[in-house]
Structure 1
Amino acid sequence: MIWDWDLRTNSLVWNDSVETVFGHKQNRIYPEIQWWRDHLHVQDRDRVIGGLQAVIDGGGTSWSDHYRYRRADGTYANVMDRGYVARDNTGAAIRVIGAMTDITERSRSEAAIRFQAQLLNAVQQAVVATDPDGLVIFWNTFAEKLYGWAADEAVGKPIEELTPSPFLRQHASEIFERGAAGESWTGEFLVQGKAGKAFPALLTTSPVRDEHNIVLGFVRVSIDLTERRNLEEQFRQSQKMDAVGRLAGGIAHDFNNLLTVIRLNTEIIMEGLDPTDPRSEDVKQIRSAAERASSLTRQLLAFSRKQILQPRVLDMNSVVSSVEPMLRRLIGEDIVIGSSCTARGYVVADPGQLEQILVNLVVNARDAMPQGGRISIETQNVELDETYTSEHAPVVPGRYVMLAVGDTGVGMTRDTREHAFDPFFTTKEAGKGTGLGLATVYGIVKQSGGYVWIYSEPGQGTTLKLYFPEVSSAAAFKTGEYKIMAKEQARGSETILLVEDEEAVRGLTSRILEKQGYRVIAAQHGREAMDIATKEAGHIDLVLTDIVMPGMNGRGLVERLAGIRPRIKSLYMSGYTDDDIVRRGFIEPSKSFLQKPFTSEALLQTVRKVLDEG
């Protein structure tokens, strides 16, 4: 049975248990402390009243006693009574809240109390009860964990002192007004615990009222939002990177078609000029600019994860050891580079792209140490458990091979870390970098099914950790050797079905192939190519097709052609592809691929290679 004695008004209120336990009707109880005193057994009255008053006057916070209390039928019950003395900031007693228990039912009541306490302590949320003035009267186990205060430290103290929050102070009147109206209040805000470190929390506070709608106190339930906020931020970052990646991939695709036209035209012009012609130098400058632009689009494709990878099952340690001599030539004499490769097992990745990753990371590390320093390269096997992945969404638990590159350079601020993978973002001075180094790393790792994280603080250096899923077998993909042949050897007389939706690329490609003796049948899209293949009476040796086209894509075309011309060979070309060839991360090892923008030599070499394959 709960009672609440307001020392300022001398009023005393009881909960409904006063009737069920002792038989006293609420409407016949005089709402003052004297009613309680009158029902004490005459032999216990002075002792009980004196003991309670001594606690109040002596600055105590808790009181308890056993005594006899008169029921409505005139009999006496043996009771255990406990009270908590609430005090204001000056220490003056303002309220006593208590619970009276009929010890006849003591065992059952104590078991119920223990169960309720266990329930509240089992809740994985901070549950705190306060009196109407905000003094803590209950503090569960999770509240101890969340805020750092032990229950015996918290009980009796103002909640504002234990969990200071400017937001709560500003909205205290609103919370109280809602409570007085019987409404709950829920809000998110920054709050501090015992350690003084602020963290985001979600709080719901609800009033506890008696049958007369008098507010007996408040129950506050709160949870830490730190992990949720981190996951939300990682999700936003992932969405941003995907959006920028789609934009970058689209730009690169369009530019690669334009660059194909520029590069092929410059080659045709160069063939028609005498080497001593002063215009040949101008054409070379155009070709050089196109090559640099091609390099930029390759990096954009890497970032957007829309490049064609040719992966193999490989040993990460072997990649590091093979590229390390070249890396040493990239850094100055005042920088020491060391490696510790302890990983065992294999990963599926494009070895050329892994080498590109190492070059980009080492160059970045070098530039971050203008006064010299140390670069470390490390590989090791790691098991990422659910604890790690819960803090690093969207990482999947499992076994990984980690590649880490660290430096002792200037480090990064938080803002720099947040934008480090953005394409064209750079902290280097004008002309010193494109801002695509880390963007390229990010794209390659993500397209390879891995994850990358930056660990850096200003003045403390930077470490990038790359995680690639570990595979159990070392059965590598078989890839043919690309042998350079003379231009005369690249000639042929076979019939080639050329399918390309960009008119300029289609025309130049036909021109180059026909000049080398091939018979070329050009089609603008897949439907037209199928019509040609159906009606053409002669033999078609090769279909050279773009992958992304309106309507039927290149892969669908090749599969349909195989149905009517099973001996036809195929060669894909693209600036990037967005169909499931790339969504799976690579084209099949058995398929040949020509990356735009290509040179006439690369075109002729690749066509001849595919035609000569058995």
Structure 2
Amino acid sequence: MNPSNPAIGKDTYELLIHGLTDYAIYMLAPDGRVISWNPGAERIKGYTADEIIGEHFSRFYTEEDRAAGAPARTLITAAEAGRFHTEAWRVRRDGSRFWANVVVDPIRQAGELIGFAKITRDMTEQRQAQLAALESERRFRLLVQSVTDYAIFMLNCEGYVSNWNAGAERIKGYAEPEIVGCHFSRFYTSEDLAQGVPMVALETARREGRFEAEGWRVRKDGERFWASVVIDAVYDNGRLVGFAKITRDLTERRQAQLELEQSREQLFQAQKMEAVGQLTGGLAHDFNNLLAGINGSLELLSARITQGRYKDLDRLATMAQSAATRAATLTHRLLAFSRRQTLDPRPTNVNQLVAGMEELIRRTIGPAVELRVTAAAGLWPTLVDQNQLENALLNLCINARDAMPDGGCLTVKTANQWLDSHAARTVDLPPGQYVTLAISDTGTGMTPEVMAKAFDPFFTTKPEGKGTGLGLSMVYGFVRQSNGQVRISSQPGHGTSICLYLPFHPIEAQASETLSDTVAPSSGGLGKTIFVVDDEPTVRMMVSEALQELGYATLEANDSQGGLKILQSDVQIDLLVSDIGLPGGMNGRQMVDIARSARPGLKVLFITGYAEHADVSSIHMQPGMQVLTKPFSLDALTTQIGSLISSKESS
């Protein structure tokens, strides 16, 4: 095939033209009559070649376009400008209209116009889609503009406002003409502007696709309102073109929320006062009973001495001491409930602790109750006051025994638990690793109403005189003070399980060891001076007299200033006995810290009934320091002092 052959070239052209059915391609004479017609023209316009050749092309135009002279202008424009291009409605043979893309090119030979080449394409579907998109956009704009509850507007890439809806005008106070072109940062408070919050918001939206926040914003008149803000990054073909911003005025909701929180706080205070009323009522009842026993015993003791009757004096003194000891136990339980007791947390292996108490538990619960101990292998250590944990375990076992009057099974189980965020929320703890100690029984169980009050002070289901109602509240307070949690599960008739969650401590558990365990008490106080600092005169007198009877010399001070003055002198002091809570501008620990700079070897015994920060670990106990909780027996005091004195001698 020779492409330079005119005949072959013409045939190829004809084949091409007649092979196209998506385009109407035909020729017009200079006066607009059709002189050729391809299959695409027949398909699009509906005329066969025999029907249309020789007819004027104006019949494809709408009646209105013909009346306006559009066909003639088409040919004139094509001849003068070299091309005519438009999109408009055209008419098929059956009278239906279609949207046409039209191109008309003039054909010249030796500079003379010999006709026109006309190409028409049916764009009806595209036109309908375009119109639908335009209508959708129009409706969207109308919708956005009609929304008044939301401020909806656009920002360019730098944060300048490019459009504005009616809701934005209502909420922020600016009309569209006065705000378009302004930077959106003018809506932020001066505090937020100083911290660069607007640009952080845009950068977050740019980086993550969206920024969401609630905070104070500023209206045109300077009034602040609480706003919920969403900023979305807008991309076109992967290129950032701006930001869509939606703001909602939530001031009323914020105020209602604050009022609700205030109401909740007032309700909490009311409930707290009710609980305090119940607490003080129960406390007064128990303490009055104990004080009656103490006072009665002391009165009888005094009367017998006055009368010269010395028989049974020991029995009366023992009765008074017993009542005082019970009062001290009650105080410790109250402190445990309020999380104010003095704790001495140490790395502890709970399996070893349970094993050490197993025999005591068996004797306590009696033969009618079967004891099962399930100890987890590889149990993690925890940081806890071992004595208090032992008390809590024994208390829970006694409760379980009492819930099984006809016998049953008591199970003590330890386990390692790793709480994820969901599991931690269910027990109100931070996610992490915990050691659990669960005490389960097959007893009478609890109703939901009883479970709801189980940790309340002085609440008990036991008969009058059989319980103080402080056992579970003491356990709860101790565990919470140890950064753990307690949970109860129970059903009437199906027993109860109480689980203690204690935080994992990343130090190998060690055997509990105190100086009193390893060092023999001093045999006497001859030549030793002990300095006693306490603001309670009776405590100073009792401690000093007890020490003097053992041969110690004593010094006394009633506050931290007086104590520090003596500690900074050159007087001999072999041991300091000091309360933690002292008047005089500093507490006992602060006084000791200053004194130890001049007396680095000073041994210290802290005595305390209450401290602002009662956890011993929080006052950073160091070697040569011990703590004794009030009230204490004189035997316990002198034994611990003897241990400290002896340890000094051996060091």
TM-score band by shorter chain is 0.5 to 0.7
Contact 1:542 1:568 in 2 (8 A): yes
Distance of 2:98 and 2:401 partners within structure 1: 84
How far did residue 589 of structure 1 move? 6.4
Letter in 2 for 1:364: N
How far does the alpha carbon of each residue in 1:309-335 deviate from its partner, in whole angstroms, 9 at most, with x for none? 222222222222221222111223332
Letter in 2 for 1:609: S
How far did residue 475 of structure 1 move? 5.2
Q: Which residue of 2 aligns with 1:544?
A: 577
Structure 2 counterparts to residues 160-559 of structure 1, below 5 A:
277-342=311-376, 344-393=379-428, 395-474=429-508, 476=510, 479-482=513-516, 489-534=523-568, 536-550=569-583, 551-559=585-593
How far did residue 433 of structure 1 move? 0.9
How far did residue 396 of structure 1 move? 0.4
Distance of 1:523 and 1:548 partners within structure 2: 14
Distance of 2:274 and 2:435 partners within structure 1: 24
How far does the alpha carbon of each residue in 1:353-373 deviate from its partner, in whole angstroms, 9 at most, with x for none? 222121111111111122222
Distance of 1:305 and 1:373 partners within structure 2: 33
How far does the alpha carbon of each residue in 1:51-86 deviate from its partner, in whole angstroms, 9 at most, with x for none? xxxxxxxxxxxxxxxxxxxxxxxx9999xxxxxxxx
How far does the alpha carbon of each residue in 1:277-333 deviate from its partner, in whole angstroms, 9 at most, with x for none? 222221221111112222222222222222222222222222222212221112233
Distance of 2:135 and 2:489 partners within structure 1: 53
Structure 2 counterparts to residues 8-47 of structure 1, below 5 A:
none
Letter in 2 for 1:378: K
Distance of 1:76 and 1:420 partners within structure 2: 84
Distance of 2:564 and 2:275 partners within structure 1: 35
Specify the SS of the correspondent of 1:296. helix
Letter in 1 for 2:631: P
How far does the alpha carbon of each residue in 1:492-526 deviate from its partner, in whole angstroms, 9 at most, with x for none? 33122210101111122122212222221110100
Distance of 1:334 and 1:111 partners within structure 2: 81
Percent of aligned pairs with the same amino acid: 38
Distance of 1:538 and 1:76 partners within structure 2: 118
| Match status 1:104 vs 2:129 | yes
Specify the SS of the correspondent of 1:282. helix
How far did residue 564 of structure 1 move? 2.8
Distance of 1:440 and 1:241 partners within structure 2: 20
Specify the SS of the correspondent of 2:516. coil
Distance of 2:616 and 2:97 partners within structure 1: 85
Q: After the TM superposition, which parts of structure 1 deviate over 4 Å for at least 4 consecutive aligned residues? A: 75-78, 105-112, 239-245, 272-276, 483-488, 580-583, 585-590
Distance of 1:236 and 1:77 partners within structure 2: 75
Contact 2:424 2:430 in 1 (8 A): yes
How far does the alpha carbon of each residue in 1:368-398 deviate from its partner, in whole angstroms, 9 at most, with x for none? 12222222211111111111233333x1001
Unaligned ranges ≥5, structure 1: 1-74, 79-101, 116-224
CA separation of 1:604/1:351 partners in 2, compared to 1, >3 Å: closer, same or farther?
same
How far did residue 276 of structure 1 move? 6.6
Distance of 1:605 and 1:467 partners within structure 2: 35
Q: Which residue of 2 aligns with 1:567?
A: 601
How far does the alpha carbon of each residue in 1:175-215 deviate from its partner, in whole angstroms, 9 at most, with x for none? xxxxxxxxxxxxxxxxxxxxxxxxxxxxxxxxxxxxxxxxx
Distance of 1:109 and 1:456 partners within structure 2: 66
Unaligned ranges ≥5, structure 2: 1-95, 100-126, 141-256
How far does the alpha carbon of each residue in 1:199-235 deviate from its partner, in whole angstroms, 9 at most, with x for none? xxxxxxxxxxxxxxxxxxxxxxxxxx9xx99xx99x9
Specify the SS of the correspondent of 1:592. strand
Distance of 2:632 and 2:327 partners within structure 1: 12
Specify the SS of the correspondent of 1:593. strand
Contact 1:308 1:587 in 2 (8 A): no
Distance of 2:541 and 2:97 partners within structure 1: 109
Distance of 1:524 and 1:414 partners within structure 2: 51
How far did residue 337 of structure 1 move? 2.1
Highest RCO, 1 vs 2 (Cα 8 Å, sep ≥ 6): 1
Specify the SS of the correspondent of 2:573. coil
Structure ID, larger Rg: 2
Letter in 1 for 2:579: D
CA separation of 1:105/1:443 partners in 2, compared to 1, >3 Å: closer, same or farther?
same
How far did residue 573 of structure 1 move? 0.4
Contact 2:420 2:431 in 1 (8 A): yes
Specify the SS of the correspondent of 1:544. strand
Distance of 1:612 and 1:275 partners within structure 2: 41
Contact 2:515 2:644 in 1 (8 A): no
Specify the SS of the correspondent of 2:456. coil
CA separation of 1:425/1:529 partners in 2, compared to 1, >3 Å: closer, same or farther?
same
How far does the alpha carbon of each residue in 1:520-566 deviate from its partner, in whole angstroms, 9 at most, with x for none? 111010011122234x4431222110011223211011111112333
Contact 1:302 1:443 in 2 (8 A): yes
Distance of 2:482 and 2:355 partners within structure 1: 20
Contact 2:369 2:407 in 1 (8 A): yes
Q: Which residue of 1 aligns with 2:610?
A: 576
Distance of 1:517 and 1:356 partners within structure 2: 36
Contact 2:446 2:492 in 1 (8 A): yes
Contact 1:491 1:516 in 2 (8 A): yes
CA separation of 1:306/1:489 partners in 2, compared to 1, >3 Å: closer, same or farther?
same
Structure 2 counterparts to residues 149-160 of structure 1, below 5 A:
none
Letter in 1 for 2:391: Q
- Count how many residue pairs are aligned between Structure 1 and Structure 2: 388
Letter in 2 for 1:549: L
Task: Provide the aligned C-alpha RMSD in A.
Answer: 4.4
Q: Which residue of 2 aligns with 1:23?
A: none
Distance of 2:619 and 2:566 partners within structure 1: 32
Q: Which residue of 1 aligns with 2:170?
A: none
CA separation of 1:486/1:556 partners in 2, compared to 1, >3 Å: closer, same or farther?
closer
- TM-score (ref. length: structure 2): 0.52
Distance of 2:134 and 2:496 partners within structure 1: 61
